[in-house]
Amino acid sequence: MGKFSYYYNKDVIFVSTKTQTALHNYKTLKRRIVIDGFLVGLGAGFFSVLYRLMLSELDGIRKMLFSTYSTEHILFLIVAFTLFACIVGLLIRWCPLSSGSGIPQIQGELLGILKMNPISVLISKFIGGGLGNLAGLSLGREGPSIQIGGAVGKLLSKLLKRDINEERFMISAGASAGLAAAFNAPISGTIFALEEMHKNFSPLILIPCLVASVVADYVSKNVFGLQSSFYFISIPKSLPLFHYWHIVGIGVFSGLVGVLFNKVLLLGQDFHNILPIPKPFRPIIAFLVSITLGFACYDVLGGGHALVEKITDSTFTLTALITLLILKLLFTSLSYGSSTQGGIFLPVLVLGALSGVIYATFCQQINLLDSVYIHNFIVLGMAGILTAVVRSPILSIMLVTEMAGTFSHMLSFCLVAIISYLVAEFLNSKPIYESLLERLLANRMDTASEEEETDKVVTSLSITSNMSVCNKALREELFPKNVLIVSIKRGSKEFIPNGNTVILPGDILTILCYKSELAEVKQMTLTL
């Protein structure tokens, strides 16, 4: 396969036929991405809503399973849950990239490092995620919904015979649609793709993701209604400005809990990795622990949506709240460490709600806060801990805003997100999905084939002043050998660069490279 070169001194570009095809498809991409986004939104919305409906039905069945207490019934649960765990383990062995939340896998797919089989992922996510939810593992629906959406996007791209560039946009759109359908949050679904997945606010990513998110949200609302996910969180009185000093307190506290969550979650994986038992049988531990917790403290089972509703409507002692926080944190780590198909977004939000209520209850007991403001801290804790865990403040602010169905607390959300972000940065806590992706790649499975790695992809790179390539001329060989800078957009103008062109902050580079080099190019966006 022919390679291409960029001779800066002559300003001449020699390209292969494959390169010319990739560039031509990229130029006509804008004509198709709206339709692609619409189709992906329909498909991803349908499957994500179906997954959400399935989990909702299984929640009711699980409640019945733990409503009877007898020796015979407990023995039945032990046998049944052990069987469920073995099925989950076999599914993971059959389709390794279906384990866990699926978000790191989508990131690896977009970077050209991993290759998921969309049909296998869909089958494994539905069966494994359903069994894990039936057993009460502390896992959420949003991660699987995101990977389900991404798998649908990839499947549609294959059926429509799109090229590798368009496939990446359709996978991104599917991931956005999955989050939108899971939480009735179309704006957050879009921001998730931009801020978390691509770390790039390119219009070519924005358009299909926004279209897909809106369509998926429409599908979801036709099934679940127009109310927000946390519609039951009523805030009778907004936190007045003279109480805004509490935002510093809840920001620090939720930030610390978020940092602790990241560490404990990774320890859960380490614990399972050192177990002297075959991988397919490792989920058995989490499934059996769920039986004990189901009878001792049922509230910590499942994603935790019902727990948020309960702490909103009921009054708990400070000791009970701290106990729930500790148990939920540890059980989420054990559940996720088992590799069972399920996400951490919802458990993280539940931990944030508990952190907020703990802080507010403590302040109330020492006469620093009126009880009428406690519900403010439920949503503030959510925004704070999510920011500390995933390190995507805009996503955290918008997700909590859309889930709570209120925009009147935007200022307080922003402030608590900033403070918790600084706490996580100060403590050198890495974003959780970055850590999970690194661990996934350390044991790379289902990697892209050699032929796929030499496919040409076109991507964009937004330049910031902290990047190593900033304020340098292209002749200095700033990029990997086979990377071609197709064009540079500076302000409202777009031009073809030459060797003397200096890259400036704010430039948007259109880059063509081999798929195998995409991760290295994208890593430049993280250069400090």
* Cα–Cα distance list, 379 to 234, 250, 418, 524 (Å): 10, 11, 15, 34
Q: Is the pLDDT of residue 2 over 60?
A: no
Query: Does 241-439 match 452-524 in CATH topology?
Result: no
Fold classification of 241-439 (topology level): Clc chloride channel (1.10.3080)
List the one residue out of 297, 392, 395, 314 whose CA is nearest residue 353.
314
Identify which has the larger pLDDT, 443 or 190.
190
- Ordered by start, the domain boundaries in the chain are 22-224, 241-439, 452-524
Can you give the pLDDT at residue 4?
A: 39
* Segment among 13-17, 130-134, 212-216, 258-262 with least mean pLDDT: 13-17
Fold classification of 22-224 (topology level): Clc chloride channel (1.10.3080)
Collapsed DSSP state (helix, strand, coil) of residue 149: helix
* Segment among 132-136, 275-279, 380-384 with least mean pLDDT: 275-279
The pLDDT tens digits for 144-200 are 999 999 999 999 999 988 877 788 889 999 999 999 999 889 999 999 988 888 777
The mean predicted confidence, pLDDT, of the chain is 86
Q: Is the pLDDT of residue 23 over 60?
A: no
List the one residue out of 345, 315, 365, 293 whose CA is nearest residue 143.
345
User: What is this structure's pTM?
Assistant: 0.84
The pLDDT tens digits for 308-322 are 888 888 788 999 999
* Segment among 57-71, 339-353, 477-491 with least mean pLDDT: 477-491
**CATH class of the domain at 452-524:** alpha beta
Q: Count the residues in the chain.
A: 528
> Is residue 511 exposed (0-12), middle (13-18) or buried (19+ Cβ within 10 Å)?
buried
Can you give the pLDDT at residue 31?
A: 72
Strand order in the sheet with 484-490: 456-462, 508-514, 484-490, 493-495
Q: Which residues contact 94 (CB under 8 A, 6 or more apart)?
A: 120, 124
Where helices occur in 464-504 by DSSP H, the ranges are none
**Average pLDDT of 106-120?**
88
Under the banding of pLDDT at 50, 70 and 90, the label for residue 106 is very high
